[in-house]
Amino acid sequence: MYLIKNGILHAGDGSIPKQMDILTEGGKIKKIGEQLSEEGAEVINVTGCHVFPGFIDPHSVIGAMGIPGRYMDHNEATNPITPEMNIRYSIDPDEVNAQEFYKSGITAVGLTPGNTNVMGGQIAVYKTAPAKMSERTVKDGAALKCSVTEDVKRTYGERKQIPKTRMGIFYLMKEAIRGAKTTGPEERSTAQQVICDVFEEKKMPVFVAANTKGEIDGILHMFAEEKIQMCLTEAFCFSDCIEEMKRSKAGLILGNINNMSQIAKNRMDISRIRELVDNGNLIAFSNTNGGSSEGREVFLWNAIEVYRAGVPAEEIVKMMTANPAKMLGVDDRLGTLEEGKDADISVFTAHPVTSYAARVRHSIINGEVIF
């Protein structure tokens, strides 16, 4: 049981920060208020520090890449349609531990298949604390990962098999969805059942890797009538497709914009993210680029770049907390500081979005001080 005293609390919902105390017990937030006291609680005085919900990277492959050998266990590059695959069976806890995400305030990640398959498998949500897998698991089958990027064409085109072109990618995706929907429940394969869970039952959202304007426009057009929750991942040319994204209300998980000067390479206008925010599109950040992930620092660098482009700081906090939790369907447990939610809390010496001098002072996951 911890009593976190005198911190400047950022709830994660965009509200104005206030000086508040937080009492945790049994891995949950028991109480939030002013001048709290509790007999037997260990007091953590964070006067002058900023207290946030644990940050969430919703789209990372660190943990399934097979580092240091890089076996790429997140890329089942033998069949372009593998929605039945589950990333949980590729997760290496030691690889997650080595990254020490919590030292940048990241307390949960959405671990995802890569970009090589049209339908690559299912995303799972895990805590970043070094603990037993049962204690890390937040949600299996959180989203279906798809891709319409060059990675798909590169993988299968070299083998002279479909899809070696963009039209092949979209044909296969459309046929997979049509085939699943027109097959009776008793005759469906496991893969077809997963597709129906997404496109008929709406049981999970779709995360689609799409980078160029053509890729983004194509997937928005294909899914226009599906009425599903969709998030574009990486999506470095999003600013060329703003009006289409507004109409679709598609979410955006912006990849590592600092990698290989993606901002300049794609003539990216980051300031246009504000238009999506005002339109109600969910925005988040990740450390991915081209289906691979880089260091935990990338997450905060992306946030700072968007802040510098004119998006308010507390809106940025939502992009690191509440928004990714909603995208992954775990907002009942994570994403905001509320009584009854998981005690995943990141304490910084200053606001990490507005100050380069900010450092993590405490990282708390499941009610335990990890760092």
Domain 55-328 CATH class label: alpha beta
CATH superfamily for 2-51+338-369 is: Urease, subunit C, domain 1 (2.30.40.10)
Segment-wise mean pLDDT, segments of 10 residues, the chain, 371 residues: 96 94 96 92 96 97 78 89 94 90 96 96 96 89 96 93 96 97 96 96 96 96 91 94 95 84 80 95 90 82 92 96 98 97 98 93 96 93
Please say whether the beta carbons of 147 and 115 come within 8 A.
Answer: yes
Please say whether the beta carbons of 95 and 67 come within 8 A.
Answer: yes
Residue 327 CB partners (closer than 8 Å, separation 6+): 58, 110, 143, 205, 207, 229, 231, 251, 253, 282, 284
Q: How far apart are CA 9 and CA 19, in angstroms?
A: 6
pLDDT for the residue numbered 133 = 83
Q: How far apart are CA 223 and CA 177, in angstroms?
A: 11
Q: How far apart are CA 332 and CA 330, in angstroms?
A: 5
pLDDT for the residue numbered 311 = 94
Q: Provide the CB-side half-sphere exposure for 31 (13 A, CA).
A: 13
Domains 2-51+338-369 and 55-328 share a fold: no
pLDDT for the residue numbered 21 = 97
- The residue ranges of every structural domain in the chain are 2-51+338-369, 55-328
pLDDT for the residue numbered 325 = 98
pLDDT for the residue numbered 72 = 81
Please say whether the beta carbons of 6 and 46 come within 8 A.
Answer: yes
Measured CA to CA in angstroms, residue 370 lies from 117, 128, 360 at distances of 36, 10, 11
- What's the pTM value of the predicted model, to 2 decimals? 0.95
Other CB atoms within a 10 A radius of the CB of residue 35 amount to: 9
pLDDT for the residue numbered 293 = 80
Give the pair of three-digit tokens for residue 356.
């380069």
